[in-house]
Chain A
Amino acid sequence: MRFEVADTLEGAASLLAGEQGVAHVLAGGTDLLVQLRAGMVKPDLVVDIKHIEATRTISESDGAYTIGAAVAGAEMGEHRTLASDWPGVTEGAELIGSTQVQGRASMGGNLCNASPAADSVPALIAAGATCTVVGPGGTRDVAVADIPTGPGSNSLGQGEFVATINLPKKAANSSDAYLRMIPRTEMDIAIVGAAANVTLGDDGTIMAAKIVLGAVAPTAIEVPEAGAALVGTKADDDALAAVAAACEAAAKPISDKRGSADYRKKVSGVLAKRAAKIAFDRASGNA
C-alpha cells in the first residue's frame, strides 16, 4: 500500500487517477482506518486530502457556504454563523461518533462512505446541498443526493473525489433540524434518522418543506408526501400526523440485529414529525 499526501486538488486528482488498483481518499479516517484494520478494504493507494486548503476551510459568500470536504464536525459546530444558519446540517454532522471522533470525522467522508445511516446526509439533502467533485476530467457540481448509490457505493468516477460541500443561501424564514434514533446517546449507528427543512411565508404558515429519512432504505430518501403535508399549515398536530403517516409508508427498511423493519417504519414517522416541529419552531423564531 502506498500513502501519499496531496497539497492541491489537482495533485490529489492526478494521484487518484493514476492508480490502476484500488485507491482511497483519506479524510478523517474514522471509517477508512477502521475498515483497513478489519481487513474490509485493501487499498493500493491512500491519498490524504487534509493538507489541501480548500478541503479544510469553511467560507461564506453572500449567505452561501462552501464547506471543505475534510472539515471536521467539531469545526462546523465552532463556526461563528454556520450553526445558527443551518442548525440541522450542523447537528447532523456533530452527532457523529463522540467528542474524540468529532475532531476528525468529516461530511465528505460520511457522504462518500455511503452508509444508509450516515448522519450528516439527510439534512444536507433537505437543504438542497450540492458538492463540488474534482477529477481527471475537471470539476463538476453534483447534488448531494446523487452521490450515494447504495450501501457502501457512490457515483464518483475513477479518480474523482469530493472537494467541497456547498449550501445555498438560506431562504428567509427558514430553518432545519435533524434527529436520529439510537438506543444509547453516542457511539452508535442510527436505526432511523430524519431531517426536516421548512420555509415559512409572511403569515407564519409553511410555504415549502422537505423531509428526508436515513437508515430506512439503501440510501437516504426524500419523502415528498411528508413535505407536502406540511405546506399551508403551522405544523399542527394533524399536519404532523400526516407527516408521520407519509414517512411510515415511504420507509422501506430491513430487519437486522439493530432493529426490526416494523420498528424502523414507526420510528421514522415519529422522528420526522418531531424534526418538522423543531424546524418549524426554529423558523418561527420560537426556538
Chain B
Amino acid sequence: MTYDNENLKVVGTRPVRPDGADKVTGRANFGADFSMPQQLIGKVLRSPHPHARIVSIDTSKAEALPGVKAVMVGEDMIAMAHEMSQSGESAIDVHDLSLNVLARGKVLYDGHAVAAVAATSAVIADDALDLIDVTYDVLPHVSDVDEAMKPDAPVLHEDMFTAGMDEKPATASNIASRMEMALGDVEEGFKKADIVIERSYKTKAVHQGYIEPHAVVANFAEDGTATVWCSSQGHFAIRDLCAKLLGMDSSAIRVTPAEIGGGFGGKTTVYLEPLAIALSKKAGRPVKMTMTRAEVFRATGPTPATSLDVKIGVTNDGQIVAAEADFRFNAGAFKGSPVGAACMSAFTPYTLENVKVVGYDVVTNACKSGAYRAPGAPNGAFAVESALDELAHMLNMDPLDFRHQNGAEAGTKAVYGATFREIGCKDVLVAAKNHPHYKSNLGPNQGRGVASGFWFNIGGQSNAAVNVHEDGTVTVVEGNPDIGGTRAAMAMMAAEVLGIPFEKVQVVVADTASIGHTDVTGGSRVTFATGMAVTQAAEDVVRQLKERAAATMELDPEEVVWQDGVAHPTKGEAKPLSLADIAGDAARTGGIIVGRSSINAKGAGPSFATHICDVEVDPETGRIEILRYTAVQDVGKAIHPSYVEGQMQGGAVQGIGWALNEEYVYNEDGILENPGFLDYRMPVASDLPMIDTVLVEVANPSHPFGVRGVGEAPLVPPLAAVVNAIQDATGIRMTELPVSPVKMLEALEANQKQAAE
C-alpha cells in the first residue's frame, strides 16, 4: 500500500524525538554507562610497531599480579579460515577480523591488539599490561598506498595474491584485488573529444570521529551463554560476529543495544566485544572494556587514504564523451576497502556512454579501514567533481549547467549495471541553480564551488512488531539502534497508518533475543527498510482491528473502513469503533492485538546531492573560512524533515572537515602522530556557518511513503565543493586533501613565484 502525500497527518511534521531530552541532558545510557556488580575491567595491550613479528609473549608476571583475573593472547582465539561474513554495507573476512581483534604471528600496525587482561580495577589492569613482555622482531613497514603497490614494498601477508587478475600472480603482494567495470568503449569515446584532461588526486585517512568511544560489558554465564551490553550500529551483527569468532551458537549470545553516540559506519564491526566475552569466560565474572580516544584513533576503522587518477573527455559544446578512472584505496592492515563502491558511484550522477573504472584494494601498515558514511564515494567524487569543475572552466560553462547537460535521469544506465527509475539528480541541480545562494555576490579572496554526489542506499532485512495495548496506546518493537532520530520516524509511520497521534506510539529498540534479525543501522536503510517493516506491521494491526470491529458490528471485514484511527461500518447502524475501543475489548474478542512484519526490503531508491560552498582564503596565512554552505538533495519523502536536514548538515560538516583539516598523520616510523581531538582537527561549531538545506522530494515508488535513504549522500559532494570554491577564490587547484593552512600557503606562494617568473 502507498500513502497519498495530500492526506498525511503525521508524516512530514516535526514532533520532538522521544530520545532527545535524555540525550541532551546526559541521562541517556550509552555504551560506557552500563556496569554490573562484580565486574572486572578489561584492557588491551597494543603494538608500538607498525610491522613486526611477534617472537614471544610472556604473560606470567601479569598473571601473578594480585587482582588480575584473566589474561589472553592471540593463541587463545580460535583459528579461522577465510570466509566472508556480511556486516553492514560490506562483507568482512572473519579470518582477518579474528587477527584484527587479537594479533597472532605478526603485528601489522601501530595500535594492533596483542594481549588483553581483566582485573579488579583499571589501575591494576594497566599495571598488568606493563608486566606483559612481548619480544618483537621489527620488520620494514609501508604506510602509503602507492608505495605499498611497488614490487619491492614490504609484503604484509605472504598468502595474499591479487584477486581479479586474468592469471593468478606468481608472487604475493599488497594488492588484495583489482576490479574493473565499464560501459561502451572509452578509446573510441576519447577520439570524439575536443578537450581531454587527466588529473591525479590524493586523500588521507580520516576517522568518523564519533564522540562515544567503543565500550562493552560482557557476562559469560555458567550455562555457556553470554550476555553483552554495548553500543553499536547493529547488535545482531555484533552477536553473529562474536559467535563466529568464539565458536559459539548465535542463540547463546544475547546483545542488548545501548544508546549510540555516533557511528557513521565505524560501529558495524567488533573490536572489544569478543575479548570481553572471552575474558569473562576465563575469569568467571562480568568484564567491562572501554577504549580511550587514542585507542579509537589507533585501532578502529577510519576510511582509507586514497590515490586517484581521472581522465575525462568532452566536446566543445559540453558533452562528456568518455570518462576513465583508476582508484587505489589504502585498506590498512587487512583487505576490504570500499574501492568497489567508489568505482560504482564516482561517475554515476552522469549519463555516460563510455566509461571505465579500475580499482585496487591495497593493504598497508595502518589500522584496518572501516566503513564511513557512503564508504568510498566521497573519495571518488572528490576526483571526478574536481576534474569536472576544471572542464566547466575550460568550456566557459556554468558548472551546474555543465552537470545538468550530462546529468543522470530515469533510464540512465550506471556503470555498475543499474538502470535508474525515478531519480532526482537533475531536479537537485535545478534547485541549486535557483537558490539565492548561487546568485549572491562574493567579495575579494572569496570563491564559490559546487559539486554533486550519488549514493545507492540499501534495503535489507528488518523486523518489526506493533503491540496494541488495552488503553489504545501502541509500542513498536524494532531492531535498529537509533542514530539519526529513527525512533521518531518509526513512530510517525506507525501513527500515520494506525490513524492515531504520534504521542500514542512508543518505540523500543529490542535486544537480539526479543525481535528477529535486523541488519545494521547503515547504508541509509533504516527509515526505508525498517520503516517499511513498521508500516507493514502497523497495516497488519489495522487488518486485525478491522476484523475485530467487523465481528462486533456483525459485518464482514471488507464492510469496515479504517479512517483516522476509527473503524467505520460501510452499512448498517453499528456505531464506529476507535482503536482504543477495540483494544479495550481485545481480551474478549480474541486476545491482545500484535502486528508483525519480517522483510528483506527491495527497491531502495538512490539519492543525489549537490552542494554549494563559499570560502574565503586568507592570502597571507592560507587559512580557509567557510562563509556560506547550501546542501541540496533528493530525499524521496522526508518523514521527519528536521532529522533529514540534520543528516544533510552533519554530512556536509564531516565533508568540510575532511577537505580542510582532518587527516591521519603517520610519521616516518609508521606511528600515528595525532591520536586525539587536539591534533586530529574535526570542525568545531564556531568554524561553520549555518548549513542551509533544500529538500527535493522525488518519491521512491518502492516505499509506502516514498522514502529514499538520506544519511550518506550528503558526505559525497563536500570535498570537491570546498576545493572548487578554493580554486574560484585563488585560481589554484588543490589536488591533495586536506587543504590545511600550511599547504594552502605553500601553494599560494608557489603560485606567486610562478606568476613573477
Contact = CB atoms under 8 A, between A and B. Distances in A.
Given A188-B678, A259-B742, A181 B683 contact: no
Given A258-B679, A263-B745, A270-B620, A185 B686 contact: yes
Contacts of B665: 257
B681 A183 contact: yes
B40 to A, nearest CB: 21
Nearest to B660: A183
B751 to A, nearest CB: 15
B733 to A, nearest CB: 21
Nearest to A274: B620
Nearest to B624: A183
B445 to A, nearest CB: 14
A6 B684 CA distance: 37
Contacts of A271: 621
B589 interface: no
B58 interface: no
Contacts of A185: 684, 686-687
A259 B678 CA distance: 14
A266 to B, nearest CB: 7
A270 B621 contact: yes
Contacts of A80: none
A267 interface: yes
B154 interface: no
B735 interface: no
A181 B661 CA distance: 14
Q: Is the interface of A mostly helix, strand, loop or mixed?
A: loop
B678 A184 contact: no
B461 interface: no
A187 B678 CA distance: 7
Interface in B663-687: 665, 673-674, 677-679, 681, 683-684, 686-687
Interface residues of B, number: 22
Interface in A151-209: 181, 183-189, 191
Interface string B735-747: 0000011100110
B202 interface: no
Contacts of B673: 257
B433 interface: no
Contacts of A257: 665, 673-674, 679
A98 interface: yes
Given A257-B665, A270-B620, A184 B681 contact: yes
A219 B205 CA distance: 34
A14 interface: no
Nearest to B677: A187
B121 to A, nearest CB: 15
Contacts of B620: 266-267, 270
A70 to B, nearest CB: 24
Contact of B681 (A181, A188, A259, A260): A188
A263 B681 contact: no
B680 to A, nearest CB: 10
B9 interface: no
B623 interface: yes
Given A257-B673, A257-B674, A270-B620, A184 B683 contact: yes
Contacts of B683: 184
A270 B748 CA distance: 15
B321 to A, nearest CB: 41
A183 B684 contact: no
A98 B677 CA distance: 14
Contact of B661 (A183, A186, A191, A266): A183
A184 B684 CA distance: 7
Nearest to B663: A257
Nearest to B676: A38
B686 A266 contact: no
B678 A183 contact: no
Interface string A1-35: 00000000000000000000000000000000000
A184 B742 contact: no
A258 B676 CA distance: 13
B625 to A, nearest CB: 9
A267 B621 contact: yes
Interface string B103-129: 000000000000000000000000000
A185 B621 CA distance: 14
A266 B745 contact: yes
23 contacts: A98-B684, A181-B621, A181-B741, A183-B681, A184-B681, A184-B683, A184-B687, A187-B677, A187-B678, A187-B684, A189-B678, A191-B741, A257-B673, A257-B674, A259-B741, A259-B742, A263-B622, A263-B745, A263-B746, A266-B620, A267-B621, A270-B620, A271-B621
Interface of A: 98, 181, 183-189, 191, 257-260, 263, 266-267, 270-271
Per CB-CB distance, the 4 closest pairs between chain A and chain B, nearest first, are: A185-B686, A270-B620, A263-B742, A185-B687
